[in-house]
Amino acid sequence: MNKMTRLLLVCLLAGTFSASAQNQVDSIKFFTDPGILEITLTTDFGKLQIAENIEVYQEADISVRFPDNTTISEKMKLHARGKSRRINCAMPPIMLDFHTPTSPRLYTLSRLKLVVGCANSSVDEQLLLKEYMVYKIYNLFDEKSFRARLAKVTYNDTKGKMKSYTQYAFLLEDVDDMAKRNGCKASKKVAFAVDEADPALMNKVDIFEYMIGNTDWSVPANHNIKMIYPRNDEKAKVLTVPYDFDNSGFVNAYYAVPSEVVGTASVTQRVYRGYKRTMPEIQNTLKIFKEKRQSINELVNGFDLFKDKTKKDIISYLNEFYKTIENEKKVQSIFIDNAR
The pLDDT-based confidence of 121 (bands split at 50, 70, 90) is very high
Alpha helical stretches, state H, 185-249: 199-211
Alpha helical stretches, state H, the chain: 3-21, 29-32, 45-48, 84-88, 122-141, 175-180, 199-211, 279-301, 308-325, 328-332
Does 31 have pLDDT greater than 50?
A: yes
Amino acid found at 237: K
Does 236 have pLDDT greater than 80?
A: yes
Does 19 have pLDDT greater than 50?
A: no
What value does the mean pLDDT of the chain take?
Answer: 92
d(CA 84, CA 95): 16
d(CA 231, CA 234): 7
More confident residue, 185 or 20: 185
Does 314 have pLDDT greater than 90?
A: yes
pLDDT, position 17: 45
Whole-model pTM over 0.85 = yes
Give the residue-averaged pLDDT of 86-109: 93
More confident residue, 16 or 128: 128
> Phi and psi at residue 230, in whole multiples of 5°?
-55, 135
pLDDT, position 10: 47
DSSP, collapsed to helix, strand or coil, labels residue 322 as helix
Does 28 have pLDDT greater than 50?
A: yes
Beta carbons of 265 and 258 less than 8 angstroms apart: yes
pLDDT, position 64: 98
d(CA 25, CA 106): 6
Beta carbons of 43 and 91 less than 8 angstroms apart: no
Q: What secondary structure letter does DSSP report for 335?
A: I
The residue count of the chain comes to 340
Per-domain residue ranges for the chain? 21-175, 183-337
Return the ∠ at Cα 172 (arms to 170 and 177), rounded to 5°: 150
Four-point Cα dihedral 208, 212, 214, 220, nearest 10: -10
More confident residue, 327 or 3: 327
Does 6 have pLDDT greater than 70?
A: no
pLDDT, position 145: 98
Contacts of 240 (CB under 8 A, 6+ apart): 197, 198, 201, 202, 205, 219, 225, 226, 227
Beta carbons of 112 and 172 less than 8 angstroms apart: yes
pLDDT, position 5: 53
The pLDDT-based confidence of 52 (bands split at 50, 70, 90) is confident
Work out whether strand 58-65 and strand 165-172 pair parallel, antiparallel, or are unpaired: unpaired
Give the residue-averaged pLDDT of 63-86: 91
Return the ∠ at Cα 162 (arms to 158 and 164), rounded to 5°: 80
Give the residue-averaged pLDDT of 222-229: 94
Lowest mean pLDDT among 51-55, 66-70, 122-126, 260-264: 51-55
Span 283-294, pLDDT tens digits: 999 999 999 999
The pLDDT-based confidence of 178 (bands split at 50, 70, 90) is very high
